[in-house]
Amino acid sequence: MSKTPSRYTLTAALPYANGPVHIGHLAGVYVPADIYARYLRSNDKDVLFVCGSDEHGVPITIRAKKEGVTPQQIVDKYHGIIKKSFADFGISFDIYSRTSSKTHAETASEFFTVLYTKGEFVEKVAEQYYDPKAEQFLADRYIVGTCPSCGKDGAYGDQCESCGSTLNATELINPVSALSGEIPIFKKTKHWYLPLDKYEPWLKEWIVDGHKKDWKSNVYGQCKSWIDQGLQPRAVTRDLDWGVPVPLKEAEGKVLYVWFDAPIGYISASKDWAVKTGKDWEPYWKSDDTKLLHFIGKDNIVFHCIIFPSILKQHGEFILPDNVPANEFLNLEGNKISTSKNWAVWLHEYLEDFPDKQDVLRYVLTANAPETKDNDFTWKDFQARNNNELVAVLGNFVNRALVLTHKYYNGVVPERGELTREDENVLKQLFELPAKISNSIEKYRFREALGLYMDVARLGNKYLADTEPWKLIKEDAKRVDTIMYIALQITANLAILGEPFLPHTTQKLNTILSLSAQAWGNGGRADLLDSGTQLNKPELLFAKIEDTEVEQQVNKLEATKLANTDATPQKEEVAFDDFVKMDIRVGTVIAAEKMKKSKKLLKIQVDTGVDTRTILSGIAQYFKPEDIIGTQVSVLINLAPRKMMGEVSEGMILMAEDADGSLKLLSPTQAVKPGSAIS
């Protein structure tokens, strides 16, 4: 689009209301979308920024069954949690709606009806698994059986979680219904398909030829590969009792497939916004001079670049997205973020541990945004960026400018005098930075934009370090007036230009500066604060994060990892008589030393109550000899003696092996008499 748009419609992927949101969501979709929305608003653009909870689909019904509640109760719970997290992090949606609303059911039905009336859908009758006892067709997730790939039980109709294979429900061996345990039968059912194959020539022209230059290469590449492989018709309906009912008499008991109704949720949300504000939603979706942008993660590219535009196009009244700046994924401490394995940093939990540090997370996630490839979030990096960048660069400059102003002028902005070459040079750089930041934001390079924003603070720090007003104040107070005047103008620029990235911080800064929120266009100016303005008392914008704080977070994750490690399967059964043959006692370590020429073995003297004996134990990597002396341990004392490296070992000290392979001693929780039997 070459002409200037009259308005912007920004959509952010609808989070699935099956769990809370985590840092991966924030980094991939919501922070970049919010930066863009705030940037546009501060440029006085007409913006509608919409989102909402995606509340249909099978996983929600399964979760409801598992918890013994209704699907509505599940989505009510998570809609509330998600909505609050977004508000807490300052994601500035104009509306956060939900797809279980009445508006949405009407809007999605209308889309289906329009396409149906135009004869767009292909009707197909196919055989599908049906549970005769529960009297319903079974979604893939509702069928369990033996995996044809690895032979393990408990595989789902769409995937085996043991070996990771993607499956078709019909491939499962001995399938049973998860609803009733019955063996499912095949039954014919009719569904409506969107003929994506028919739209291929148009999609080729629109994306492959039309968006080669302006779409991100990861997005363009994925679309092209889908189109090159050849598109298949895709069912828009399914047999389920949770969703938007298919608006046809003959389709009773069927609902719209969640992928069909979810993106229409952006339009329903816009309608809800119109009702709330008394505005007209239609220009935002139907006017050619509107720029429509979908902010999503890479798992959603096909839906937003191929399927949803096809639906919009066939409907006929709607505009198509101008761009879909999808991000790659954010990993966590080297591993893929996983909701089911609880390998995530949940936003609501983050705020419990780091209250009022929303902007720190916004900053770190932007500075490390997965814009061009998957990136890794680590707590160490989080701490380093906070301490070395937010505290040491941005916070430090602002604090010095404000503290010196209070010290020299009781917080009143001084008069500006003659400018030196040095001043002019600094002001020139200050003047040039906003356009550079704009350019990066407009190209969806938010990481780069944030780096340029920090250059404003670096410029300020360097200026103070070079001019040294704290030394000059005794000899040339007049010169210091000008230096501090300029430093304060840089501070005011930080408040304007930082708003899209760090809205909580810039609000605080505006209050300190007695400045109302300024338009982006004022960025670069050197007269934002008038001489004589009384500033408020400074407060620190950022605080150092200590090692112990991030260690706690790492430990929390490590605990998750251990909880997720599967224990080894149970061994073969043994008879009681076999068990009692083992004589296990509590003994006390009375001496220990490293075995010569061995890295692994410790030579340990144990008082077993029966006698004092030598036991060799392969624990030298985990225990220092001096640390275990005096410790009570569990000993198998009637194990046949074994000779190792020229020494005889009479028994075995029992150990627990942790998930990471480390060894722990098994000691009684209270001291007991050596020789006490363990049984």
Query: How far apart are CB 129 and Zn ion at their closest, in Å?
Result: 19
| Residue (150 or 574) nearer to Zn ion, CB | 150
| Residue (162 or 440) nearer to Zn ion, CB | 162
Q: Which of residues 364-423 bind Zn ion (CB under 5 A)?
A: none
Q: Which of residues 64-123 bind Zn ion (CB under 5 A)?
A: none
| Span interacting with Zn ion, options 102-110, 129-137, 145-153, 250-258, rule CB under 5 A | 145-153
| Residue (92 or 149) nearer to Zn ion, CB | 149
Binding-residue total with Zn ion (CB under 5 A): 6
Spatial CA neighbour of 300 closest among 332, 329, 270: 329
- Binding of residue 671 to Zn ion (CB under 5 A): no
| Span interacting with Zn ion, options 144-152, 218-226, 400-408, 430-438, rule CB under 5 A | 144-152
**Rounded distance between C-alpha atoms, residue 147 and residue 159, angstroms:** 9
10 Å CB burial of residue 384 (0-12, 13-18, 19+) is middle
Inter-CA distances, 538 with 28, 462, 482, 543, Å: 34, 21, 20, 14
52 has which bridge partners? 97
Query: How far apart are CB 299 and Zn ion at their closest, in Å?
Result: 22
Query: How far apart are CB 61 and Zn ion at their closest, in Å?
Result: 24
Q: Which of residues 27-66 bind Zn ion (CB under 5 A)?
A: none
**Rounded distance between C-alpha atoms, residue 60 and residue 72, angstroms:** 9
Query: How far apart are CB 186 and Zn ion at their closest, in Å?
Result: 23
b/e sequence 137-162, b meaning 16+ C-beta within 10 Å? bbbbbbbbbbbeeeeeeebbbeebee
| Residue (147 or 495) nearer to Zn ion, CB | 147
Q: How many CA atoms lie within 13 A of 288 on its CB side?
A: 4
Q: Which of residues 215-234 bind Zn ion (CB under 5 A)?
A: none
- Binding of residue 147 to Zn ion (CB under 5 A): yes
Q: Which of residues 158-187 bind Zn ion (CB under 5 A)?
A: 160, 162-163
Q: Which helix (H) or strand (E) holds 219?
A: helix 217-229
Q: How many CA atoms lie within 13 A of 369 on its CB side?
A: 28
Three-state SS for 406-433 is: HHHHCCECCCCCCCCHHHHHHHHHHHHH
| Residue (162 or 507) nearer to Zn ion, CB | 162
**Rounded distance between C-alpha atoms, residue 221 and residue 208, angstroms:** 9
| Residue (17 or 178) nearer to Zn ion, CB | 178
**Rounded distance between C-alpha atoms, residue 659 and residue 661, angstroms:** 5
| Span interacting with Zn ion, options 92-100, 148-156, 274-282, 333-341, rule CB under 5 A | 148-156
Taking CB under 5 A as the criterion, the residue among 1, 150, 403, 559 binding Zn ion is: 150
| Residue (163 or 275) nearer to Zn ion, CB | 163
| Residue (150 or 275) nearer to Zn ion, CB | 150
Query: How far apart are CB 141 and Zn ion at their closest, in Å?
Result: 15
Contact characters 313-352, Zn ion, x per CB under 5 A: ----------------------------------------
- Binding of residue 149 to Zn ion (CB under 5 A): yes
Dihedral angle sign, alpha carbons of residues 365, 367, 372, 375: negative
| Residue (160 or 267) nearer to Zn ion, CB | 160
**Rounded distance between C-alpha atoms, residue 520 and residue 522, angstroms:** 5
* Angular region, 159: left φ>0, alpha ψ -120 to 50, beta rest: beta
Query: How far apart are CB 15 and Zn ion at their closest, in Å?
Result: 29
CB 500 within 8 A of CB 435: no
- Residue numbers of the site for Zn ion (CB under 5 A)? 147, 149-150, 160, 162-163
